[in-house]
Amino acid sequence: MARRRHWPASERKTPSSGSCVTHRPKQIRSPPDPPAVARHEVYLFPCLCQTGRVRLLVALAFAWLASLVACERAPNRTPPATVAADPAPAPVQHQAADAATTPSAPPPAAVESPPDKPSPGPAPLARTGTAGDVEYLELVVGNDNIDAVLPMVVALHGLGDQPQQFAALLSGLGMPARLVFPRALDPYEHGGFSWFPRRARDPDVDALAEGMTRATHALADAVREVVRQRPTQGRPVLTGFSQGGMLSFALATSHPDLFSAAFPVGGWLPPPLWPLHIDDPRDFPPIVALHGDQDHAVALGPTQAAVTELIRLGFRAQLHVYPDVGHAITPAMREELLALIRTELGQQ
């Protein structure tokens, strides 16, 4: 906000009480052929042309008014209070494409940065690769050596998205890690890519599960190959949104040896993919799912049923529900997701 300067009364330039306004001169001799401005000045303000002193007072008054206007319009030069650095602009919302619409980004929303934001560190190092049938984007954050031994995060995008856009979800992680963003198997007709042809709302859950199984096997093989090729500390952390969230459930329950933890967002595990039993729950990674209660693309009810069944079987599973949130990753959900990932990586 601009700050106004308050001038003390002693510094204000005002005409004295003995102004010539009350004293009319005996005679005014006009100069020969005055300019147009001077004629108007004499006509409108005859008394102001009497002496040079009055002209000086008028000039000082106008200068004082001009300085007030300049102070009113000038930006505030006071340095702002020191705040914790925000490592990167947050993608405040991430929304998957609807089955019947072209994918589009939601409008951004204002988010207050938490006071304990981690430092940004070195700029990410990027490269692309192919593992089996899956292409992927690899980013190394918090380290200037792309071949360093680092913990790994595998993040699966949703319908109509692609790795280059989805990578913004993990910006500001704030700790050294290797981030792997696989690209979905098939092009999507409205742009981006799709992991499987069926939608979560499809009543044919058997066909949906079949498409998910194909993508799950391809991803499991790809992750194993990337872990073999890249210097990796511990087992990867898994997350994903929408279709990627559904595959996060499927990979965590069907390939438990691959991941240390899974954090599905806006996902679901169809009943045909529910495990029948597990011998030792400690062999399976913990699952913490995030979901909006107004999600109409991947409804909350089936996800609650799936998590309840996993808990009954012995899985270490949780579901965190966000009120008044649809099929999107809000700033609060993103902050929790990053905190979950940091905690898991910190234990490796």
Rounded to 10°, the helix 243-254/205-229 angle is 70
pLDDT of amino acid 202: 86
Q: Give the tokens for residue 319.
A: 């579901």
Residue-level pLDDT at 201: 86
Whether 18 has a pLDDT exceeding 80, the answer reads no
pLDDT at 23 over 50: no
pLDDT number for residue 275: 96
The mean pLDDT value for 292-311 works out to 98
Contact of 334 with 325, CB cutoff 8 Å:
no
- Could you tell me which residue, 94 or 46, shows the higher pLDDT? 94
Average pLDDT over residues 159-163: 97
Per-residue pLDDT for 115 more than 50? no
Nearest by Cα to 260 from 283, 240, 241, 279: 283
pLDDT: which is higher, 293 or 4: 293
Residues of the chain with pLDDT > 90, as a percent, come to 62
d(CA 41, CA 12) in angstroms, rounded, equals: 25
Closest CA to 317 of 306, 325, 327, 326: 306
pLDDT at residue 96 greater than cutoff 70: no
Average pLDDT over residues 275-282: 92
**What's the alpha-carbon Rg for the chain, to the nearest Å?**
34
pLDDT mean over 3-23? 44
Q: State the Cα–Cα distance between residues 326 and 333, nearest whole angstrom.
A: 12
Widest pairwise Cα distance in the chain: 117
Mean pLDDT of the region 53-81: 48
Q: What mean pLDDT value characterizes the chain? A: 78
Cβ neighbours of 231 (radius 10 Å): 13
Cβ neighbourhood burial of 73 (10 Å; 0-12, 13-18, 19+): exposed
Determine which of 86-95, 134-143, 224-233 has the lowest per-residue pLDDT on average.
86-95
CATH 3.40.630.30 fits 125-346, yes or no: no
Residue 111 or 214, more confident: 214
State how far the Cα of 337 lies from the Cα of 131, in Å rounded to an integer: 26
Q: What is the pLDDT of residues 132-152, one digit of tens each?
A: 999 999 999 999 999 999 999
pLDDT of residue 348: 84
| Domain range list for the chain | 9-73, 125-346
